[in-house]
Structure 1
């Protein structure tokens, strides 16, 4: 069987709703709220018919918690990978959280301009490179299988734009919403655009 006949299918999801210790930008933390925990369980239940082989997440707590709850519902295991983390915020870490700075960058990424970045932060191209590094590795580990990958809103915006050429008029990605990708030696393809958790793809 050729590589084209056994691609990896990735369900790329955002973490569940989270609460934070501060209203300032952080490069860590975030704990799932009760609603976020319910969203994570519902995500796992929703994907049970997809025969998910494994769940992967970023190393940030809100993503790890989401992955573990979804994995429990799926009857599989979860593994954290640093390459799936949210964008590096650079000089914004410790500053009051506001969309005034990050909003225009996210809009540029959604439109396909991945060179933009927040002050001293990661450009979209860098985010795509590290996320793709993880996904490309998984194509060998899980050839012909399906996996759930839990990441973050900005990282997903960049990845979907840079990896599969998705363009969007909005930067909104709901908690536990997911897109479906397939990857093999020929590259990555968008199989299904963002689906809200709790709805049919």
Structure 2
């Protein structure tokens, strides 16, 4: 099966570089709304049998234009929400953001017991992400395809730990708003990443300073 993992559109907290992981959380900025609409055309070539989103408002709002276009309901799973920031929640300073990301990628680098102060371990977070991904996979079957709208940290941490991306690659390759990662496989046999941020996985990725409306191809 094929899962198309999409980061939500831009939020006010993104503009502040704020660790904002509680649900329901903020909505989208005007640019984020434009990104959500642009995602419809970005994913036009893709088969989509089911559409899932996290319990955060920004993920569900990002999924809504695609749901209307495809005539699908947005199915919600709390396991797909962002990585908990613990005591770092609400912080905007660079050291806090770096520590949050360091812990997220440590889970794929052999330290699943790592956690930010007041936050859950990788064992706990990856288990809930596995549950959310598993629900999406079960909804489409072996030959199906689903879109899963989640969060930058959650997607990068999960594909690093579960889909062959690895911690170093995920740490060095941010996923912009409405950026796409495509994985294939199943929960029983495992997953492999076939596309990351609009490029076949393993291809060099060019740094991007700003996020704009989604426009990258996702067919590989």
* Post-superposition CA distance 1:1-34 (Å, at most 9, x none): xxxxxxx2100010001124x9664413111111
With normalisation by structure 2, the TM-score equals: 0.78
Alignment partner, residue 71 of structure 2 = 75
**Would you say 1:9 and 2:2 are equivalent positions?**
yes
Secondary structure at the counterpart of residue 119 of structure 1: coil
* Post-superposition CA distance 1:138-187 (Å, at most 9, x none): 33321111111011111112101111131314252100001101122311
C-alpha distance in 1 between matches for 2:69 and 2:179: 17
Alignment partner, residue 158 of structure 1 = 157
Within 5 Å, which residues of 2 pair with 1:34-49?
A: 34-49=30-45
The answer to whether the Cα contact below 8 Å between 1:107 and 1:170 also exists between their aligned partners in 2 is no
- Aligned-residue offset at 1:126: 2.4
Number of paired residues? 193
The answer to whether the Cα contact below 8 Å between 1:15 and 1:150 also exists between their aligned partners in 2 is yes
Alignment partner, residue 3 of structure 1 = none
> Which deviates further from its counterpart, 84-93 or 110-119?
110-119
1:178 equivalent among 155, 161, 180:
180
C-alpha distance in 1 between matches for 2:102 and 2:165: 13
The answer to whether the Cα contact below 8 Å between 2:103 and 2:115 also exists between their aligned partners in 1 is no
Within 5 Å, which residues of 2 pair with 1:20-169?
A: 20=13, 25-26=19-20, 27-28=22-23, 29-93=25-89, 95-107=90-102, 109-110=104-105, 112-113=108-109, 114-115=111-112, 116-143=114-141, 144-167=143-166, 168=169, 169=171
With normalisation by structure 1, the TM-score equals: 0.84
What runs of 5+ residues in structure 1 fail to find an aligned partner? 1-7
Question: Quick one: structure 1 residues 189 and 96, their matched pair in 2 at CA, closer, same or farther if it must change by over 3 Å?
Answer: closer
Question: Quick one: structure 1 residues 200 and 171, their matched pair in 2 at CA, closer, same or farther if it must change by over 3 Å?
Answer: closer
C-alpha distance in 1 between matches for 2:37 and 2:45: 14
What runs of 5+ residues in structure 2 fail to find an aligned partner? 200-213
C-alpha distance in 2 between matches for 1:123 and 1:96: 19
